[in-house]
Structure 1
Amino acid sequence: MSHQAGPKTRETSTMAQRLLAPGDSLRHRWDGLSRPQKWIFGVIGFGLLALLPLFPPPWIATTGISLGGVMAQFAMIAIIAIGLNVVVGQAGLLDLGYVGFYAVGAYTVALLTSPDSPWNKVGANGFFSQDWAWLSCVPIAMAVTALAGLILGTPTLRLRGDYLAIVTLGFGEIIRLLADNLSDITNGSRGLNQIAYPRLGASERVPNGVFSSGNSTGDANYGTWWFWLGLVLMVGILLLVGNLERSRVGRAWVAIREDEDAAEVMGVDTFRFKLWAFVIGAGIGGLSGALYAGQVQYVAPTNFNIINSMLFLVAVVLGGQGNKLGVIFGAFIIVYLPNRLLGVEVFGVNLGDLKYLFFGLALVVLMIFRPQGLFPVRQQLLAYASSARKLLRGADDSKAAA
């Protein structure tokens, strides 16, 4: 019996290796590269991504909206996905109200720069200069959002699982309701208009700069410029998060995600490291909110509903929890596909209006056949296991020879 089971087991293992998903194959190749090679491929990849709005292939073009506008939206959602991945993917905290941090960042910029806001201090005698108002508000928005994460996380991060999910869900709804009901400050459901944006590249053709909505013609329109700005911020955040992953903080997050009780027994201060993840994720969400406020130049409570929070979580789950590059791919899917299908009709039904149906079906299929996501991170975190085993075997052989 044992002799018969051996070949069957090896045959099953061989078949499983042949049936590896494309995401696994791509990840294995990426893990096999040295660090300089990864840097080279990363620079080339992000460079080609930056050129995509200028030289779009015919099969990737979107109808009814410029590709630059779609890519600008993608950059914002990708930054959100990276921040949420720190909380959900790295530390294993189920956050269903991440849209609340997104809203705090957007409203911070809006309250400081919109003429409809009673807190507006922009002007000749104001605290911020007119040309640099948006840029001056970005670090403030990140700091305020990180503080909100600290205030929310301190009493709630001792909860786990479903209880934490319910608390964070309530936080997202509380922020939206506050924005809707504090009419004297947030202008209620009417929202805040004419929010500041970067005043760069002013010319006769675009008197308000390349980031203004007046720059709406050509390939390098205002959406493309916002995409380039978001791409630069995305690269900076990836470097920050990557360094955290390789540090003691990142190892503590992985230990907490895999087994919080075991991590605590081994001496990891689980509450402190969870709070770190919550605050860092909140600050990144605030950055994306500031980016959104400057690009759209208008914020209203309806833009920060629970559906958007679920879409952010879909990007993380779809791309692969814990894999920062995977969640960027997940963000691209949830932004690009609805815009690509917009205007495509089947049996008189606009496929772009069925995005929630498609995402729901995709999650169901993913949970059945590939619950770890398209680009899972577990194998990547254990990528050096074989090298460690070889090193230990070499050490044992040298001891035996001695």
Structure 2
Amino acid sequence: MSVGVTAGKTPSAARLRKQSWYQQPRFKRLVAMVVTAVVMAQVTGVQGVRNDLFYALEENFTGTGIWIWLGIFLAIWAVREFLQDWTRGLFARVRAAAAPLPEDGTAKDAPGGLAGQVRRVADGGRRLSTLFRGHRAYQAGGLGALLLVLIVLPLMVSTFWQQVMVDQIGMFLLIAIGLNVVVGWAGMLDLGFIAFFAIGAYSAAFWTGGLPVEPPVELNNFLVVPVAVLTCLIAGVLLGAPTLRLRGDYLAIVTLGFHEIVYLTAKNWTEFTGGTRGASSDRFSIDLGFWSYEWGLDPAPYYWLQLAFVIGVLFLFLRLEHSRVGRAWTAIREDEVAAASTGVDTVRFKLLAFAIGASTSGIAGVIYASKLGFINSEMFLVLMSVLVLSYVVFGGMGSIPGVLLGTAILVWLPEYLRDTVDAQDRYMYLGGLLVVMMIYRPQGLWPSRRRQRELRMSQEGTGSADALGAQPGGAQG
């Protein structure tokens, strides 16, 4: 009897385990894309009027705008869902055709056969790839060519784009590199990172005599840089010390509160910071006695100075990533309890992550204040912290090349849309791009190999990809 009951329940259990068509990931992504298209049509369409609450809804949902957005997002969905399998199959067939054939000799094995030609091309590509990876000279040559392009780049663009590269791209690059240490390497969600940027900027204003209070001694801006870095290191330790037992959303709330403390202090302590009236800051200058130079209004010299700082920071952080400290951060990000049980001093390394990550914001703050010659509290809103975090996630958490590329693209895009899109709608397009990116490539534009592996294990159900919200012991909460 029990056997018959079990046999009778088996089909029912199988039907319960079977997913309906609308529960499949492909159609879930379709729903997400359609919802995003509808939202984009509304937020970028006709604006509402005060005496008619439904005017904007009627105009945006009956006009051509919603069909354009639906067409764009449905085209992205169709290409991604259907053509990707076809492309993978094509590459698989090419690899199979290029595979070694039996030694019995066939027509396809002839030198002029299609398989032989494809095989020779594939083998040549593999040998070239191996040669490129094996010789440091080729890598150094590629990096040298890239560096040369970056050096001459200001001479090839207009003054407007020079300003964008200095005031926005270069500044956010330095901040994002530091935030990548906290978020990407150590796995601690920080929503108040721009507070360290404000500390660096006000350090420049204070030590150059631009604040209402007099400093003990006035310093040159180049001497202010290490002082600002040290100040941000101390601030990072002060933030990290009381938050060592927090992670995920709780840590994000605390860091957000830290930003609000710094922001409100800069806004309300007018006797020291100048408040919303702001404060001035000297520009960079060099005086060697026999030769002197002062940075003026031209953005190109600031770009080259910023490029030098970015290269120096990248060199140090790349060395740090593969050091014992970098491996300890990775262990903490993946499972803090397991890392502690294997002897990793989690308290020390989490404090190091906060402190070292904050140091680049100090450099960015000094350069930013010196370039503008003026700062006030309204330049350091929490929106900037959210933007920098989105740049890191978009580029690929834990990947330095990804962070650089993602930051450059997302800072460039709103400025590129300046002449064609209203100012209030530019970040809407940025938001749509981020939504599509998170649906189809959550690991980021240029992810690290470790992050890719974590996401793959999460999809297979053998691990967690949410390093920012991981529970103790790897439990899923």
**Does the alignment reach a TM-score above 0.5?**
yes
CA change 1:145–1:374 in 2 (3 A) is same
How much does 1:120 deviate? 3.9
Q: Which of the residues 215, 220, 230 maps onto 1:143?
A: 230
Q: Distance in 2 between matches of 1:377 and 1:66?
A: 33
How much does 1:13 deviate? 11
Q: Distance in 2 between matches of 1:40 and 1:282?
A: 32
Deviations 1:259-304 (A, max 9, x none): 2222222221122111111100011111111111111111111110
Question: Is this contact kept in 2: 1:158–1:271, CA < 8 A?
Answer: no
Residue in structure 2 matched with residue 159 of structure 1 by the alignment: 246
| More displaced stretch, 271-280 vs 109-118 | 109-118
Q: Which of the residues 266, 270, 273 maps onto 2:342?
A: 266
| More displaced stretch, 99-108 vs 40-49 | 40-49
Residue in structure 2 matched with residue 239 of structure 1 by the alignment: 315
Q: Percent sequence identity over matched residues?
A: 41
Q: Distance in 1 between matches of 2:260 and 2:137?
A: 45
Question: Is this contact kept in 2: 1:71–1:224, CA < 8 A?
Answer: no
Residue in structure 1 matched with residue 45 of structure 2 by the alignment: none
How much does 1:14 deviate? 8.3
Q: Which of the residues 38, 41, 48 maps onto 2:139?
A: 38
Question: Is this contact kept in 2: 1:342–1:353, CA < 8 A?
Answer: no
Residue 296 of structure 1 aligns to which amino acid in structure 2?
L
1:367 aligns with 2:438: yes
SS of structure 2 residue aligned to 1:33: helix
Q: Tell me how large the CA RMSD over aligned residues is.
A: 2.7
Question: Is this contact kept in 1: 2:418–2:426, CA < 8 A?
Answer: no
Q: Distance in 2 between matches of 1:159 and 1:376?
A: 26
Deviations 1:349-402 (A, max 9, x none): x2x4423212222221111111110000025998xxxxxxxxxxxxxxxxxxxx
How much does 1:229 deviate? 0.7
Residue 294 of structure 1 aligns to which amino acid in structure 2?
S
Q: TM-score, normalised by structure 1?
A: 0.76
Q: Distance in 1 between matches of 2:390 and 2:215?
A: 35
Q: Distance in 1 between matches of 2:393 and 2:235?
A: 25
Q: Distance in 2 between matches of 1:43 and 1:232?
A: 14
Residue in structure 1 matched with residue 285 of structure 2 by the alignment: 199
Residue 285 of structure 2 aligns to which amino acid in structure 1?
R
Question: Is this contact kept in 1: 2:191–2:255, CA < 8 A?
Answer: yes
- Looking at CA atoms only, which structure, 1 or 2, has the larger radius of gyration? 2
Question: What aligned pairs does 1:83-162 form with structure 2 within 5 A after superposition?
Answer: 83-120=178-215, 126-128=217-219, 133-162=220-249
Deviations 1:80-107 (A, max 9, x none): 1100001101111100000000000101
How much does 1:115 deviate? 3.7
SS of structure 1 residue aligned to 2:156: coil
Question: What aligned pairs does 1:71-90 form with structure 2 within 5 A after superposition?
Answer: 71-73=165-167, 74-90=169-185
Instruction: Provide the aligned length of Structure 1 versus Structure 2.
Output: 329
Q: Distance in 2 between matches of 1:361 and 1:141?
A: 37
Residue 133 of structure 2 aligns to which amino acid in structure 1?
L
Residue in structure 1 matched with residue 25 of structure 2 by the alignment: none
Residue in structure 2 matched with residue 173 of structure 1 by the alignment: 260
Residue 337 of structure 1 aligns to which amino acid in structure 2?
L
How much does 1:18 deviate? 5.3
CA change 1:14–1:143 in 2 (3 A) is same
SS of structure 1 residue aligned to 2:212: coil
Question: What aligned pairs does 1:1-400 form with structure 2 within 5 A after superposition?
Answer: 15=88, 33-34=133-134, 35-56=136-157, 66-73=160-167, 74-120=169-215, 126-128=217-219, 133-193=220-280, 195-200=281-286, 209=293, 211-213=295-297, 222-345=298-421, 350=422, 352-378=423-449
Q: TM-score, normalised by structure 2?
A: 0.64
Q: Distance in 2 between matches of 1:169 and 1:256?
A: 22
CA change 1:306–1:42 in 2 (3 A) is same
Question: Is this contact kept in 1: 2:174–2:310, CA < 8 A?
Answer: yes
Q: Distance in 2 between matches of 1:89 and 1:127?
A: 37
Residue in structure 2 matched with residue 26 of structure 1 by the alignment: none
CA change 1:341–1:178 in 2 (3 A) is same
Gaps of 5+ in 2: 1-83, 93-128, 454-477
CA change 1:285–1:17 in 2 (3 A) is farther
Q: Distance in 1 between matches of 2:90 and 2:384?
A: 37
Question: Is this contact kept in 1: 2:282–2:373, CA < 8 A?
Answer: yes
Residue 110 of structure 1 aligns to which amino acid in structure 2?
A
Residue 72 of structure 1 aligns to which amino acid in structure 2?
V
Deviations 1:35-75 (A, max 9, x none): 4433332222122012111023xxxx6xxx62211111311
SS of structure 2 residue aligned to 1:82: helix
Larger RCO (alpha carbons 8 Å, 6+ apart): 1
SS of structure 1 residue aligned to 2:155: coil
SS of structure 2 residue aligned to 1:164: helix
Residue 181 of structure 1 aligns to which amino acid in structure 2?
N
Q: Distance in 2 between matches of 1:246 and 1:17?
A: 37
CA change 1:127–1:224 in 2 (3 A) is closer
How much does 1:248 deviate? 0.7
